[in-house]
Amino acid sequence: MQGNPKFMQMAIDLAVENVDSGQGGPFGAVIVRSGEVIATGVNRVTTNHDPTAHAEICAIREACSRLGDFQLVGCTIYTSCEPCPMCLAAIYWARCEAVFFGATAAEAADAGFDDAFLYDELKRGHADRTIATSRLLGPEAMATFNAWRQFAARVQY
Amino acid sequence: MQGNPKFMQMAIDLAVENVDSGQGGPFGAVIVRSGEVIATGVNRVTTNHDPTAHAEICAIREACSRLGDFQLVGCTIYTSCEPCPMCLAAIYWARCEAVFFGATAAEAADAGFDDAFLYDELKRGHADRTIATSRLLGPEAMATFNAWRQFAARVQY
């Protein structure tokens, strides 16, 4: 799939404006469907007190809100920087069709953002991660999936 | 670090209630600091039209909002199921201290949730992913980090 540089430039411009206006980090994203911009997003982590308010997450939430859907089938996301694992996984959950990114995770790391570290961290087993991760009440937790299987009106996603 | 089963049971109960009330998927999370519940979250993907509205993300956003901070230093998250890559990365961005989970990603996969697939997918190179991922305007995107480096009042995060 061929990307349209116009939308990437828009994502880059949004990122630069976001920095210059003191609103957040140097990241912007644009979601496009059939050549039309559905939503945009910029990094608002510090101003919104929300560590999940990365540009891609903001754009996905806005696009879903506008479309009234929890998926973005047929949508392409243009992001000024390679998505961090959080944003990449969100792109998968949203079922986007394609991803175009400008800067790489390594370039983001050079600028002080931990994306590359996080990709390494997620490949590790629980015991080797820097945030201690342990299992608790495993058998009891099966009640959650049992409830799901038994709930006739469940909406699969 | 020792987890408190009481908080895990709360996360499990929230997940079951969320299913039974038709509000979303079988996932619940509780964020605790110094023995006190700061925030809870449940899966609201379908009802909120938000693919990022996993239990952990909802709990993190709520906790940050309540604390007026973009980080959750000293906080522990209890989640009824092993976090998906999106949520695990969010937990890192939030700087949580520890993670306790109930069900595993493999058990979630058995119940129809793609978490295990997504962990595999994130380990792959761009060219091998099921969502096409390509670079575009890489040199132009450096403008974003240049702006960041030049912005004297930047808030690091």
CB contact under 8 A, B111 and A148: yes
Query: Can you read off the two tokens belonging to residue A52?
Result: 């999940």
Q: How far apart are CA A27 and CA A19, in angstroms?
A: 8
Taking residues B74-80, report their average pLDDT: 98
Query: Can you read off the two tokens belonging to residue B18?
Result: 């969320």
Distance between start and end Cα atoms, chain A: 26
Give the residue on A whose Cα is nearest the Cα of B47.
A70
**Min Cα–Cα distance to chain A from B14, Å:** 9
pLDDT at B153 over 90: no
Residue B138: its pLDDT value, please? 97
Find all residues with CB under 8 Å of A65, minimum gap 6, and list them: A39, B49, B50
Chain A residues lying within 8 Å of B12, measured CB to CB: 137, 140-141, 143-144
Q: Are the C-beta atoms of A113 and A25 separated by less than 8 Å? A: yes
pLDDT at B156 over 90: no
Confidence band of B41 (pLDDT split at 50, 70, 90): very high
Distances (CA, A) of B40 to A150, B58, B70: 24, 8, 16
Transcribe B60-72 into DSSP letters: HHHHHHHHTSS--
Q: What is the ipTM of this complex?
A: 0.95
**Min Cα–Cα distance to chain A from B33, Å:** 15
pLDDT at A138 over 90: yes
Backbone phi, psi, residue B40, to 5°? -130, 165
For residue B112, what is the DSSP state?
A: T
Residues paired with residue A29 on neighbouring β-strands, in sequence order: A41, A79
CB contact under 8 A, B52 and A57: yes
pTM for the model stands at 0.95
**Min Cα–Cα distance to chain B from A108, Å:** 8
When CB atoms are compared, the residue of B45, B92, B137 closest to A70 is: B45
Backbone phi, psi, residue B64, to 5°? -65, -40
Query: Can you read off the two tokens belonging to residue A29?
Result: 């994203």
Chain B residues lying within 8 Å of A3, measured CB to CB: 134, 136
Question: Catalytic residue at B121?
Answer: no
Taking residues B106-112, report their average pLDDT: 91
Residue B58: its pLDDT value, please? 98
Say whether A44 sits in a helix, a strand or coil: coil
CB contact under 8 A, B20 and A151: yes
Q: Are the C-beta atoms of B45 and B24 separated by less than 8 Å? A: yes
Helix B115-123 / helix A85-93 crossing angle, nearest 10 deg: 130
Chain B residues lying within 8 Å of A25, measured CB to CB: 148, 157
Say whether A23 sits in a helix, a strand or coil: coil
User: Would you name the residues of A annotated as active-site residues?
Assistant: 56
When CB atoms are compared, the residue of A3, A119, A144 closest to B12 is: A144
Chain B residues lying within 8 Å of A46, measured CB to CB: 70, 155, 157
Length of chain A: 157
